[in-house]
């Protein structure tokens, strides 16, 4: 019953489907549809960024995939979170905790003579 069409074409090892552009496009489309749901509107109406926890106007929040689409993530409610512009840009490089630590270190810079 759970046979997919792929068994015909002979590739069911690993998952080349993850990086398949057609799949990414499909998931992006799903994300677009998700953004129109009351569920998502409620989330952004709260204005909280999932990563830094700061508050933003709903228009400033974007939909972010916790597990990137290219790594097998899907446009499901469990994998989509509101994200502010700054976090969106720095995401993928550092975790929020790492970024916090770096900011603390920078505050601790020169200027204080003791």
Can you give the binding site for Zn ion, defined by CB under 5 A? Answer: 49, 51-52, 84, 87
Q: Quick one: 30 or 60, whose CB is closer to Zn ion?
A: 60
Q: Phi first, then psi: what are they for 17, rounded to 5°?
A: -65, -25
Q: Quick one: 54 or 67, whose CB is closer to Zn ion?
A: 54
Burial class, 38, CB count within 10 angstroms (exposed 0-12 / middle 13-18 / buried 19+):
exposed
Compute the least distance from the CB of residue 30 to Zn ion, in Å: 23
Phi-psi region of 59 (alpha: psi -120 to 50; beta: other; left: phi over 0): alpha
Tell me the C-alpha distance between 16 and 1, whole Å.
22
Compute the least distance from the CB of residue 18 to Zn ion, in Å: 26
Compute the least distance from the CB of residue 33 to Zn ion, in Å: 24
Q: Quick one: 18 or 88, whose CB is closer to Zn ion?
A: 88
């Amino acid at each position: 019953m759970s046979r997919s069409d792929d068994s015909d074409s002979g590739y069911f090892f690993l998952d080349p489907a993850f990086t398949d552009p057609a799949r990414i496009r499909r998931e992006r489309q799903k994300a677009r549809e998700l953004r129109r749901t009351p569920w998502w509107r409620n989330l952004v109406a709260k204005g909280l960024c999932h990563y830094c926890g700061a508050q933003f106007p709903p228009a400033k929040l974007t939909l972010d995939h916790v597990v990137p689409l290219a790594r097998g993530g899907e446009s499901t409610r469990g994998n989509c979170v509101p994200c502010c512009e700054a976090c969106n840009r720095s995401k993928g490089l550092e975790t929020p905790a790492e970024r916090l630590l770096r900011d603390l270190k920078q505050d601790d810079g020169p200027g204080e003579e003791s």
